[in-house]
Amino acid sequence: MAQQCEMILGYLVPHRCEHPALGKCTRCGRGFCDEHMSVQTGGLVCIACQQGLPQPVTLPLTAATFSPTDIAAFSVLRSLDDDDSNELFSDLS
């Protein structure tokens, strides 16, 4: 088994998880830490296999948990950002 978790993290600078591998995924056979594995009826399964991904990468599942209130808040903020007269955010580009 791998000594280090094999999950790839990060979007700008991809890197392997620094935690030690505690078990193997029953689907892909790679070693993962407890943060990137969950107990399923068939055994331990990594996040990537849960999401149906062929590579050991994480995707943000947070977007799936947004409530209608969260989405409404994003829409309000987007409209404020599009309105240059109400400059709440600075554009440094």
63 pLDDT more than 60: no
pLDDT band of 58, cuts 50, 70, 90: confident
Distances (CA, A) of 39 to 19, 23, 26, 36: 18, 11, 10, 11
Residue keyed to tokens 């505690």: 22
CA atoms within 13 A on the CB side of 35: 12
Instruction: Note if the pTM is more than 0.75.
Output: no
Q: How confident is the model at residue 13 (pLDDT cuts 50, 70, 90)?
A: confident
Number of folded domains that form the chain: 1
Amino acid identity for residue 49 in this structure = C
Residue 90: inside a domain, yes or no? no
Say if residue 88's pLDDT is above 80: no
pLDDT of residue 61: 57
Task: Look at residue 61 and tell me if it is in a domain.
Answer: yes
Higher-pLDDT residue of 16 and 62 is 16
What digits encode the pLDDT tens for the residues 15-30? 888 999 999 999 999 9
The answer to whether residue 89 sits within a structural domain is no
Domain range for 30: 8-82
Of the candidates 18, 22, 9, 19, the residue with the CA atom closest to the CA atom of residue 48: 9
Whether residue 92 lies inside any domain: the answer is no
Residue 15 DSSP one-character state: E
Is residue 1 domain-resident?
A: no
